[in-house]
Structure 1
């Protein structure tokens, strides 16, 4: 079994919409989203941060992601992305200024200033000899004592007008500040100016490829199963019902999706979604077909009346269990008989091998061989012995208008 990129995108979008995430940008192959606090708790694995938010009452800062569902098509589009970019790609998030592709900001001038000095930190660049001091040979007229040209009007000290003009709009070189990033004076004196890096934390939009089999997709499935295991929904009554005088009567239904595992050395799984009316005791197979065309809401709609249940939830659950057990009793179990035959054949091979080995083993090692023999028989029996397991996957209480079966 596999899923196409379109099917993966559909499932991921359903989860993002259900958890009230903010969609920033969307295309047929990707979506850029800012997670809601509910989704951030489930997907980002930041228990310490959310513990801090709960203790202090601070406003939570959730993370943003670009989920790519078709990486080949997404990467084939040239140029930077408008939201987040391609992580580590040309012009995308994670690429310092001056290293991007077409459309990237102009490169920041390096340490090739007058006198071989870095115009930002004011120390000699590696591999470039220092310029003479003030008034020394080779110093151009009007140069300062560091050997850099005199600042022009409207520019910062140590930065020429040409260098300032090459920088992107809103970015300036001023003292120990580069592109709005403050530099520690003592650190820059000994270690140089730190290179431009992308912002870390909530402001960074990270790219993740979400394809069938990826870790992030499995995580989203696990979060959906955990949060969507139990449902309590009402049918939308529609605009006409809201304007009528008499309220509509709603019938409560208990529905359970059972997973049946038929296992031996092979395995088969079946899903059975069954519903029972808590008013009449009627049982409907394939209850998902009843729900798929009905708009549902988690809130009690206007102008409706929920009828009181004649059966309790425990009684309804027992009816469903008896129904699923009765269905299993009439299935074809020829597969189990075949598995029994394969089990007997494997046990005969194991018995023949170990009985001969036990006879040839001395008394000191015979106990170890017998223990290994019994362990091997248990493993083979567990592998080949047919068994059936039934477990509920999703269950919920649905309030619906009365409808005829079929």
Structure 2
């Protein structure tokens, strides 16, 4: 997967899981994860166990997902602000800790703290997490048919060409008169040839389907309750 394919995959995942995209560009996403995405990606089983037991309002994590690190660095360098004084990060961490002790959990955005950055590329740990989450949650689908506006009725048949029946009819039109007019000593050979030709057409044209369940889905078709 190249950077554009990674970007498109991440975008589709964020949309499918209901994450709040706070900022985006062709090379990054700044997101606040939805509860479903947070459960799948952040490895916080104790926190989510607490939320499930107490019914507390969950506070999901936020990230900067970078899908093209080189271009993102160029953009950041072009818009770089003056460096913060030494020790600013430690001061922010202390303020955050004090607010947590006083008021409980405080969102990082409330004090301007930086979001953790994740570089996403094929083979990275976070991308593997995304693949695993998609694999686990994408085993089953729930789809609705898009009705054909041209159809007069949902039970109308769709025209198709019955190749096998057509070929067998043509074959019968040739061999059956031949069998009726054949001499007694030739009739067995003609009949055997007819049966062999029918078997050949059946082998060539009869559908042969081998099915095994990989993914399952529930499909709601128009007109069928």
Q: Give the TM-score band, short-chain normalised.
A: 0.5 to 0.7
The reply on whether 1:397 has 2:194 as its aligned counterpart is no
TM-score (norm 1): 0.34
Summarize the alignment of residues 199-348 of structure 1 with structure 2, pairs less than 5 Å apart: 203=108, 205-237=115-147, 249=154, 323-324=209-210
CA distance in 1, matches of 2:83, 2:137: 42
Cα deviation code 1:168-194 (max 9, x no counterpart): xxxxxxxxxx7782899xxxxxxxxxx
Kindly report the root-mean-square deviation, in angstroms, between the aligned alpha carbons of the 2 structures: 3.9
Summarize the alignment of residues 349-360 of structure 1 with structure 2, pairs less than 5 Å apart: none
What stretches of structure 1 of length at least 5 have no aligned partner?
A: 82-100, 111-166, 168-177, 185-199, 242-246, 252-279, 283-321, 326-390
TM-score (norm 2): 0.58
CA distance in 2, matches of 1:182, 1:70: 31
Structure with greater helix share of residues: 2
Cα deviation code 1:233-272 (max 9, x no counterpart): 102449x79xxxxx96389xxxxxxxxxxxxxxxxxxxxx
CA distance in 1, matches of 2:66, 2:144: 34
Matched with 2:184 is none
CA distance in 2, matches of 1:400, 1:209: 42
Secondary structure at the counterpart of residue 210 of structure 2 = helix
Matched with 2:64 is 66
Structure with greater strand share of residues: 1
What stretches of structure 2 of length at least 5 have no aligned partner?
A: 99-104, 109-113, 161-207
Higher relative contact order (CA 8 A, sep 6+): 2
Q: How many residues align?
A: 160
For the structure 1 residues 69 and 392, does the alpha-carbon distance in structure 2 shift closer, same or farther, using more than 3 Å as the test?
Answer: farther
Cα deviation code 1:206-258 (max 9, x no counterpart): 100110111111111111111111112102449x79xxxxx96389xxxxxxx
Matched with 2:95 is 181
CA distance in 1, matches of 2:33, 2:128: 17
Deviation at 1:77, TM superposition (A): 2.1
CA distance in 2, matches of 1:37, 1:60: 7
Cα deviation code 1:20-69 (max 9, x no counterpart): 11001111111111100011111111110000001111100000111111
Deviation at 1:79, TM superposition (A): 4.2
Tell me if structure 2 keeps the 8 A contact 1:63–1:201. Answer: no
For the structure 1 residues 58 and 229, does the alpha-carbon distance in structure 2 shift closer, same or farther, using more than 3 Å as the test?
Answer: same
CA distance in 1, matches of 2:154, 2:39: 39
Tell me if structure 2 keeps the 8 A contact 1:64–1:202. Answer: no
Which of the two has higher C-alpha Rg? 1
Matched with 1:20 is 18
